[in-house]
Amino acid sequence: MKKITLSITGMHCATCALNIESALRKVPGVVNARVNIAIEKAYIEFEPDTLSPQDLLIVIEKTGFKAFLPEESMDSEGRVRNREVRDLGVRFVIAITLSVVLMFVPAKTNWGHGLQLLLATGVLLCGLNFFRRGFFSVIRLGRASMDTLVALGVGSAYAYSFVISLAVWYGRKTAFHDVYYEVAAFLLSFILLGRYLESLTKRRTSQAIKKLMNLRPKTAYVIRDGIEREVPIIEVVVGDLIVVKPGQRIPVDGEIIEGYSSVDESMITGESIPTEKSIGSCVVGGTINKGGSFTFRATKVGHETTLAHIIRLIEEAQESKAPVQQVADTVAAYFVPAVLLIAVISFGAWFLAGKGVLFALTACIAVLIVACPCSLGLATPTAVMVGTGVAAENGIIIKNAASLQTARKLDTIVFDKTGTLTSGKPRVTDIVPVGVENSEDVLRIAAIAEKRSEHRLAEAIMQAAHEKGYEIPDPDLFNSVTGKGVVARYKMDKILLGNRRLFEDIKIDVRHFEPRFVELEAQGKTVVIVGYRNEVYGIIAVADTLKDFAKETVHALRKMRKEVILITGDNLITAQAIAKEVGIDTVLAEVLPQDKALEIKKLQAKKRIVAMVGDGINDAPALAQADIGIAIGTGTDVAIETGDIILIKDDIRDVVFSIQLSAFTMRKIKQNLFWAFVYNGISIPAAAGLLYSITGHLLSPVIAGGAMALSSISVVLNSLSMRFFRKRL
């Protein structure tokens, strides 16, 4: 089985997407097909032995739409989309010009009928696609579409007028003014205007992805056969040596092998201060080299780069459907047949009521034209698209529409401690000498023992020693004692570094240090004992500092009436100290990584809707178990795969922003759906004759066409207004 994503232009309503899906699914070899109207893409699973991608393009083009293969460049696709907008604009200008001229042509003579027919035919040619797609969907797919309604409405007015003209030319005594050429012409002109404006506004909804696409350089300077040459980015392969000069964007991901510079990585980390890079440092494609030149070896190219991965995640989110959209999809499936039935009934009812063919036909055409399934089809996907785009522009990846919808319902937020609420980079805060004169000897001895250790406490001790300028020799022997500490030997002397249990095993009494232990642990610090030559040498306290805005984030969540819980594998005293500092009341301490998911389950058993916020690696089971997993990562970590929501910038405030954006997006979706249902609920009965019963005036098909166009545009514009949403913390 093979999957492919095709870009499609020319879709305007939910039935357009349904028709393309239906056409694709009828093709032998196509296993599944889904079409998203908002981002104009088709996601197809097919058997490559039976079909080729070109075959799929032909199927889509036969339904009246233009499709593109994924390997075709964004520039080519963009040019075609721009051409579509220009084409609609030109068609509208020609149509409205002919319609205005038609208004001033008298229908009192034979030549007047002929000229009106000629002008109206010119307008219909401008909207020929409506007829082609509308009747194709009925004949080939057995399903009516929005284009079918337009074709029937405009075509009925045109055909009726043509019959009257024939009667006039054959000498029948027929009222010369009883023709609908100008109605058909203006109707189609307004619909073309609506499609033109809709295309303009829809094009803006994908701005977030386009901005990310534009971050990718078109070329790279590659060293091959000892010669530096400029090559297209698609020709760069893993292992290539690439030269980056000041001010250039880094083309792909890689590792620096020569040179030194500072790189602006704000697109990934959100940090405005450039990051220093030297030999061995990793660089990310799309970031900007600010300082010197350097050479790096490509490690990820094409679709494997970090930037491409982020773009792919955003596209997948925009492709997904929110659960709330099922309502609109269900209604849209029955909408067009229901409108056709209402149109026929209104014609028959008014004709039988003695109002005549002209009156009945006017009501019928008005019903066909005023009905708008487009607004129903666009209500949810446009809001989801803009919402995920706004999130992406703020360094947040929301992986699917269901997560975007669920986040607002969260009532319990569970934070991991290390790397989430805290920086995950402990530092030495206290050195208490016991058996020596000063703290320097304690730190030197501890650093020797920890030099070969990979524990996070070892990193803090080694960092402190390096900052002091100490040269630390290697230990002669090193052994890690799980859960207790390390045992080392240097110049025949034993060094111990660990917790109380390590020293209790060796029968060294540390009880007289207990008050100092408790005091330091109450401050949220991890305390280790340093032993040398079978005596206690001192105590070292290490603390993991809080992240910026941790307190403000917890306060904002509690203000939103969310219960906030801290979960950690650390001891209870340390965990409670951190929780107290940030304002969390509930603490789950000494929880092993594999047991965190069980704690989430317990909360869910109490009917809680739970979000787990973690670093995405050790917390993966809990992230998967939670209703919403929020992974905090730098964007280059494997953590990006684990959560439903990824905070690329490592900014804890984005937890609050994600919930706020979810609530705002759902509010917009409800507004869109409300407007779509209310519009159709009022306009269709009014067009069918309810307005005439109340006011004595029948709704003009021309006004109906304008109202139909405005309904779709209003939904898209309402979704686009989400782009002004800002953080509120």
For every residue of 121-151, DSSP letters joined together read: HHHHHHTHHHHHHHHHHHHTTS---HHHHHH
Residue with tokens 């209500």: 379
DSSP codes, 415-484: EEIIIIIB-S--EEEEEEESSSSSHHHHHHHHHHHHTT--SHHHHHHHHHHHHTTPPPPPPSEEEEETTT
Instruction: List the one residue out of 43, 26, 677 whose CA is nearest residue 377.
Output: 677
Q: Which two tokens stand for residue 542?
A: 């290490």
How crowded is the C-beta side of 684, counted as CA atoms within 13 Å? 21
Contact 324, 380 (CB under 8 A): yes
Give the integer Cα–Cα distance in Å for 449 and 502: 14
Cβ proximity of 363 and 348 under 8 Å: no
Q: Which helix (H) or strand (E) holds 326?
A: helix 325-352
| Residues recognised as catalytic | 416
| DSSP-assigned letters across all residues of 686-710 | IIIIIHHHHHS-PPPHHHHHHHHHH
Is the CB of residue 276 less than 8 Å from the CB of residue 224?
A: no
The Cα 406–Cα 412 span in angstroms is: 12
Largest CA distance in the chain: 124
**Pick from 65, 66, 60, 67: which is nearest to 26 by CA?**
60
**What is the C-alpha separation between 687 and 699, in angstroms, rounded?**
5
Radius of gyration of the chain (CA): 34
Residue with tokens 């905090």: 632
Q: Is 469 left (phi over 0), alpha (psi -120 to 50) or beta?
A: left
Q: Three-state secondary structure along 238-278?
A: CCCEEEECCCCECCCEEEEEEECEEEECHHHHCCCCCEEEC
* CA 284 to chain CA centroid, nearest Å: 21
- Residue 163 has a CB neighbour count (10 Å cut-off) of 12
Q: Which of 709, 585, 676 is nearest to 189 (CA)?
A: 709
Q: Is the distance from CB of 75 to CB of 186 less than 8 angstroms? A: no
